[in-house]
Each structure stands twice: as C-alpha cells, then as structure tokens.
Amino acid sequence: MRKVNMNFVEESKPQTKPQSLREQMHQWLLTLPEGTVYGEAYKHFKGTNSRSVRAVLTDLKNEGLVRTTKCRCHHSAVYHGVPT
C-alpha cells in the first residue's frame, strides 16, 4: 500500500490484455489433435458472430498458421493448427 493525498491506496496490478479471437482460435486449434471443421468452430465460439469466425479461420489459413485437409468423405475441410 502507498499513500496518496493522505489516503492509503492499494498497489494496482498491471492489467493483462485480453486475447483476441484470432489468438484464441489459434491456441484452440493447437490443442486439437484431429483438427476441426467450421461447424465445430462455430459451436466452440458461440458468443461471436459466425462471419467473424469464418474470417479469422480464413486469415489464419492465408498466414500459414492453419493447414487444411479433406475429411474422409471428401466433403468438408478439416483445419489443423500449425505451431509457430
């Protein structure tokens, strides 16, 4: 505690910056050994707009932080996180 203007004030801790959706998604994809499809990503990030989830996945793919493979039925893409 320190004294300011004749009053005791507790030391404030530096506030941590909250992770962006991009950082959260990349960390989540790294934890999944089998990868995920768009539908599972929508369900996991259900508080966010589905369009922004799709945009973040596309950006991560373009930057090389996510790789894609086809599922066994060759219908949809499976997204795997690439460690940096």
CATH number for 33: 1.10.10.10
Structural domain of residue 30, as residue ranges? 19-81
Q: What is the pTM of this model?
A: 0.75
- Whether 38 maps to a domain, the answer reads yes
- Whether 13 maps to a domain, the answer reads no
- Whether 5 maps to a domain, the answer reads no
Total structural domains in the chain?
1
- Whether 6 maps to a domain, the answer reads no
Report pLDDT digits (tens) over 6-16.
777 777 677 77
Give the chain as a 3 state SS string: CEEECCEEECCCCCCCCCCCHHHHHHHHHHHCCCCECHHHHHHHCCCCCHHHHHHHHHHHHHHCCEEEEECCCCCCEEEEECCC
Report pLDDT digits (tens) over 1-54.
677 677 777 776 777 778 899 999 999 999 999 999 999 999 999 889 999 999
- Asked whether 73 and 80 are in contact (CB, 8 A), the reply is no
